[in-house]
Chains A and B, each alone.
Chain A
Amino acid sequence: MISLTIDGLPVQVEEGASVLDAARKLNINIPTLCYHPDQDVKANCRICVVENEGQRTLLPACASPAAEGMAIHTNSPRVRKSRRHILELLLARHAQDCLHCKRSGTCELQQVSEDLHFVKTPRYPYRPRSAEMNDESSMSIVRNASKCIACGRCEYVCNEIQTVHAISKVNRGFDVNFVPAYDRPLGESVCINCGQCVQVCPTGALTIQDSCDQFWDALETDKLIVAQVAPSVRINLAEALGEEPGTVSTGRLVTAMKRMGFHLVFDTDFTADLTIMEEGTELLGRVKNGGVLPMVTSCSPGWIKFCETYYPDLLPNLSSCKSPQGMFGALIKNYYPAKIGKRPEDICSVSIMPCTAKKFEARRPELSTDEAPDVDFVITVQELARMIRSAGIDFKSLAETPFDNPFGLGSGAGEIFGATGGVMEAALRTVYELVTGETLKDINFEAVRGFEGIKEAAIQVGDLPVRVAVAHGLGNARKLMDAVRSGKADYHFIEVMACPGGCIGGGGNSIKNWKLMESRLEAVYGEDERLPIRKSHENPAVNSLYEEFLGEPGGHKSHELLHTVYTDRSYLLR
């Protein structure tokens, strides 16, 4: 252990801990901007400077290892002056239009400015970072260089964690900017729309492409506005509205949406169960008929674009199943209208998602009926939270309302789609029982749960030892896919979710870190335990849809509506 003092208070920390860690142990708040708990230290913003007695220069607390006998001051006149000056230099490159910025209230720069009690006019005039300020070309993400403070967190997550390489740091000195290669627009780059950059950006430089107005505009039409709500939205929405992380708000969110003007609110857990029926059947078919293995899940649209771009040779491995959002859209536009005596064009189909890439997925031509998209627009958790606030709804005090029928019933298996390993576990529950005809003794597949980057398991299903693997975060997916490509992976089934942690860590949620993610994960499995039905094939609503309309899983009608094709996008690399 290392002993030092901070502001006169003695503290002991493990070897390798930083001065920042030591200060946090004492609950002393040192402002940070480029520092992120889930990333390597960059030490480029310098806002965390502290003074060490006897040392000539100030130290960045995030990058300075705590040393024996240090006497650190975090609030000396010199530190105060330096931090203030650093803040003024940062503000000189940051457009101060906070009043109408999407990050107002959650902006870390705003918070630091407030924490430092900076209430004067900055001494330096604002100098914009680049000529092209606002890149709205992406369907999912808006990049506004005028808000960028060049912390480098987006580049880290895009390149080191996701290995997507959509944006990198270019130029140097005053001209530094974070842009796609050769300054192309984000929407034409290799960006896979996962939104993890939005999750780490401390300011409004990277934000979600906002679709809220499309909903308010729809209210002025006489269309029937129907929504589907993804599994992890109920896990994350309350947190986005300021409640404790992991607060499940299923009933309240339906109430809020009804109050806002949605006519019908359905549960995407329903089509998650449907996905399991289709995907499970597809897997068994591939095993039985010598089809392409390993089969890889196709629920995560960020992962799909990644595979289409970097692994086009492995597209045959992807399950042909549409994502639960895609399946829902197909039912809403192809099955539901006839059932209620309306035309497809009389329905406005909205999905509420934890995911920025779903906005891109919804615009895929494959997911449309007669050239009209099956999902008209996608609202993320962040956007829904803003809409609820702007509608004047006090979310905390709402009563609970159940989802609407006929797509209101989902199983625990559908619910766990929200976490890494969830699709795999849901599939195993169903595949095991359908193949063996036996009831699973323990339906909790612990081996595929949790936040380990790559998880593996082998499950004996009848005569077949089914080997599975689960990856979350595209850096991990890349490792698995390289193994598949070189023939070194003899799995039957692989689950990939683009975002670290799965959908509960999706780019459309409120800002996350791994600590918050623990609470969200616990809530997902808590919901699974709580639900009366926990296996997709036992969902009576799904079974009656097959009886009434679809026929058999993997049958003709299913193939027409619930399955899709993929596009080689390696041209993005040429």
Chain B
Amino acid sequence: MRTNLEANWAVTPETEQKIVDTAGRYQTEPWQLMHILLDIQKIANNSFPREVAVIVSRETGLSEASLYSFISYYAMFSPSERGRYVVRMCESAPCHVRGSKAVMEAISKTLALQPGETSGDGRFTLEYCQCLGLCVNSPAVMVNEAVYKDLTPGRAATLMEDYMRGDYDA
């Protein structure tokens, strides 16, 4: 379902060094593997492709197969490329009864993406996710690490337009 990205992300010497430094933490804090790999995924544009796993394997001694096993198990990792902004809509029941379906439709329409797709310019990936733990403020979405609560279709569309305009680009 994935669109071909115009600007494919690739490992550069700078990002490789960042990945190596982050992976190095595993030597002294192996119990932090989850955090280490999440940090690496951030460096790697929200995804964990094979090129990255190879570097992490070399630096940690964990095999590529074990790393793939790990990242394919947890929903927050993606072995295939994702956009700069990953929009994750809560798929759980509380959000559903408070109107998440309409919110998702508004987001989907604004971004012109179906769940699971990445935009051609490599800026957005739209996904469903499991419960965000924000039921009291449902429906909720996360865009990368930012949380947006109590959404209506209108507010969600405006929010997406803000992102599309580049208001949140650093």
Contacts and interface: CB of A to CB of B under 8 A. Distances in A.
Interface stretch (B19-27, B39-47, B61-69): B61-69
B58 A573 contact: yes
Contacts of A159: 63, 65-66
B54 A170 contact: no
B53 A182 contact: yes
Contact of B68 (A168, A172, A190, A574): A168
Contact of B50 (A165, A170, A172, A181): A181
Contacts of B63: 159, 165, 168, 181
Interface in B60-98: 63-69, 72-73, 79
B57 interface: yes
A28 B53 CA distance: 47
A289 interface: no
Interface in A158-180: 159, 165-172, 180
A172 B63 CA distance: 19
Interface core residue of B63, B64, B67, B79 (most chain A CB under 10 Å): B64
Contact of A182 (B66, B68, B73): B68
A171 B73 contact: yes
Contacts of B68: 168, 170, 181-182
Given A172-B73, A181-B50, A167 B64 contact: no
B72 A165 contact: no
Contacts of B54: 573-574
Contact of A166 (B53, B57, B65, B67): B65
A159 B70 CA distance: 14
A574 B55 CA distance: 8
Nearest to B72: A170
Which of B50, B53, B69 neighbours the largest number of chain A CB atoms within 10 Å of its CB?
B69
A32 to B, nearest CB: 24
Which of A166, A181, A573: most chain B CB closer than 10 A? A181
B69 A182 contact: no
Interface residues on A, range: 10 to 19
Contacts of A166: 65
Given A166-B65, A168-B66, A181 B58 contact: no
Interface residues of B, number: 15
Contact of B65 (A171, A172, A181, A574): A181
Contacts of A168: 63, 65-66, 68-69
Interface string A180-194: 111000000010000
Given A170-B72, A172-B73, A165 B66 contact: yes
Interface in A528-573: 573
Contacts of A165: 63-66
A180 B53 CA distance: 13
A478 B58 CA distance: 17
A182 B57 contact: no
A242 to B, nearest CB: 36
A573 B79 contact: no
Contact of B64 (A169, A171, A172, A181): A181
Given A168-B65, A169-B69, A182 B50 contact: yes
Contacts of B66: 159, 165, 168
Contacts of A190: 64-65
A182 B53 CA distance: 9
A171 B53 CA distance: 16
Contacts of B67: 181
Given A573-B57, A573-B58, A574-B54, A180 B65 contact: yes
A425 B64 CA distance: 37
B112 to A, nearest CB: 27
Contacts of B79: 182
A146 to B, nearest CB: 20
Contacts of A169: 69
B73 A573 contact: no
Interface in B91-148: none
Interface string A185-229: 000001000000000000000000000000000000000000000
A135 to B, nearest CB: 15
Given A181-B53, A182-B79, A573 B64 contact: yes
B122 to A, nearest CB: 20
B64 to A, nearest CB: 4
A172 B69 CA distance: 9
Nearest to B62: A165
Nearest to A184: B50
A171 B65 CA distance: 12
A180 B50 CA distance: 12
Nearest to B74: A172
Contacts of A171: 72-73
A180 B68 CA distance: 9
Contacts of B53: 181-182
A165 B68 CA distance: 11
Chain A CB within 10 A, most for which of B50, B58, B63, B66: B63
Contacts of B72: 170-172
A181 B57 CA distance: 11
A574 B50 CA distance: 9
A182 B52 CA distance: 11
A574 B69 CA distance: 18
A166 B63 CA distance: 9
A182 B51 CA distance: 10
Contacts of B58: 573
Nearest to B73: A172
A217 B68 CA distance: 42
A171 B68 CA distance: 9
Contacts of B50: 181-182
Nearest to B66: A168
Nearest to B55: A574
A168 B57 CA distance: 14
A28 B72 CA distance: 40
27 contacts: A159-B63, A159-B65, A165-B63, A165-B64, A168-B63, A168-B65, A168-B66, A168-B69, A169-B69, A170-B68, A170-B72, A170-B73, A171-B72, A171-B73, A172-B72, A180-B65, A181-B50, A181-B63, A181-B65, A181-B67, A181-B68, A182-B64, A182-B68, A190-B64, A573-B54, A573-B57, A573-B64
Given A170-B73, A182-B53, 4 more contacts: A159-B63, A159-B66, A181-B63, A181-B67
